[in-house]
């Protein structure tokens, strides 16, 4: 049954959203929820403080997102503002699919709505499963100024959006922006940014060239946080990797 046909079976959007939440309950697991709360650091003072989990695995969230993919964008945004993590994830997965199918006007609308709602895109999985597919994709053939603004945001997740959005460019063999943004974030205080930058630098080395990665490393590796460096050099030959770790380059 297509998602659009399925949506027509409901008298109102309120009924549909109630049914969506019933579907969520079918996949929920209190035991897994406890594990996810620890994994996504929801304790007091941690980056995911107060986030609520139902304990639903990502493949099951994708199933639900496909089933309800025809929900109007205004109602997807209602779902995105939920206090429940998996509801926000499903909203973003629906937005990604809507973006993939949209014309240029629709893509612009989704891009703008995404950036208008970054306060709800507030954990690393939410960023990582959506930023390159909406923000990166939209900016691929456009000026990238917004990414440089996000890279200096006080909001951790906006900085991560800036980094992960470059993945779209990197997959197309364009690595200039990740090198520039990585340099901006060399002194970032948060390990989630260190990991994200290192990951994207590693991908630049894989998809652009090892020379591109090493060109950045030779200038900056002694300034990089250790986690960022370890992620960036993960695919380099062992001898070369040890040279960077020991500061012998």
Which tens digit of pLDDT belongs to each residue from 191-247? 999 999 999 999 999 999 999 999 999 999 999 999 999 999 999 999 999 999 999
Q: How many CB atoms lie within 10 A of CB 162?
A: 30
The helix or strand, by DSSP H or E, that contains position 6, with its residue range, turns out to be: helix 3-7
Residue 249 pLDDT > 90: no
Q: How many CB atoms lie within 10 A of CB 230?
A: 17
Residue 1 pLDDT > 70: no
Centroid of chain to Cα 190: 16
**Rounded average pLDDT over 32-40:** 95
Task: Mark whether 68 and 185 lie in a shared domain.
Answer: no
**Rounded average pLDDT over 87-94:** 97
Total number of domains in the chain: 2
Whether residue 99 contacts residue 14, with contact meaning beta carbons closer than 8 Å, is answered with no
Residue 185 pLDDT > 50: yes
Q: How many residues are present in the chain?
A: 249
Residue 17: band (very low, low, confident or very high) from pLDDT cuts 50, 70, 90: confident
Residue 19: band (very low, low, confident or very high) from pLDDT cuts 50, 70, 90: confident
Residue with tokens 């998996």: 86
The helix or strand, by DSSP H or E, that contains position 231, with its residue range, turns out to be: helix 226-232
Determine the structural domain holding residue 156 and report its residue range. 130-249
What pLDDT sits at residue 14?
A: 76
Task: Mark whether 41 and 101 lie in a shared domain.
Answer: yes
Task: Mark whether 20 and 111 lie in a shared domain.
Answer: yes
State the CATH number of the domain containing residue 222. 1.25.10.90
Please tell me whether residue 84 adopts helix, strand or coil conformation: strand
**pLDDT digits 0-9 by tens, 40-85:** 999 999 999 999 999 999 999 999 999 998 889 999 999 999 999 9
Q: What distance in Å separates the CA atoms of residue 22 and residue 35, rounded to the nearest whole number?
A: 22
Q: What distance in Å separates the CA atoms of residue 112 and residue 101, rounded to the nearest whole number?
A: 16
DSSP-assigned states of every residue in 134-152: IIIHHHTTS--HHHHHHHT
**Rounded average pLDDT over 113-134:** 98
Give the end of a domain, one of 122, 141, 176: 122
Task: Mark whether 187 and 243 lie in a shared domain.
Answer: yes
Q: What distance in Å separates the CA atoms of residue 119 and residue 161, rounded to the nearest whole number?
A: 12
Angle CA 197–201–206, to nearest 5: 150
Task: Mark whether 77 and 20 lie in a shared domain.
Answer: yes
Round the average pLDDT of the chain to a whole number and report it.
94
Please tell me whether residue 52 adopts helix, strand or coil conformation: strand
């Amino acid at each position: 049954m297509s998602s659009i046909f399925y949506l027509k079976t409901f008298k109102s959007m309120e009924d549909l959203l109630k049914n969506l939440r019933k579907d969520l309950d079918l996949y929920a697991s209190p035991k897994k929820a406890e594990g996810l709360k620890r994994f996504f650091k929801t304790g007091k003072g941690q980056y995911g403080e107060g986030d609520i989990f139902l304990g639903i695995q990502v493949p099951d969230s994708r199933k639900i997102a496909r089933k309800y993919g025809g929900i109007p964008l205004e109602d997807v945004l209602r779902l995105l503002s939920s206090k429940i993590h998996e509801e926000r994830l499903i909203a973003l997965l629906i937005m990604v699919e809507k973006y993939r199918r949209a014309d240029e006007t629709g893509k612009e609308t989704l891009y703008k709505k995404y950036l208008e709602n970054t306060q709800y895109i507030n954990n690393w999985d939410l960023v990582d499963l959506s930023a390159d597919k909406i923000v990166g994709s939209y900016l691929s053939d456009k000026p990238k100024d917004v990414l440089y603004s996000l890279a200096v945001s006080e909001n951790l997740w906006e900085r991560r959006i800036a980094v992960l959005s470059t993945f779209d460019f990197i997959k197309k063999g364009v690595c200039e922006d990740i090198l520039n943004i990585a340099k901006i974030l060399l002194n970032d205080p948060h390990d989630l940014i260190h990991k994200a930058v290192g990951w994207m630098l590693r991908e630049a080395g894989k998809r652009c060239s090892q020379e591109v990665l090493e060109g950045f490393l030779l200038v900056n590796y002694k300034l990089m946080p250790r986690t960022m460096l370890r992620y960036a050099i993960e695919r380099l030959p062992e001898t070369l990797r040890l040279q960077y770790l020991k500061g012998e380059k």
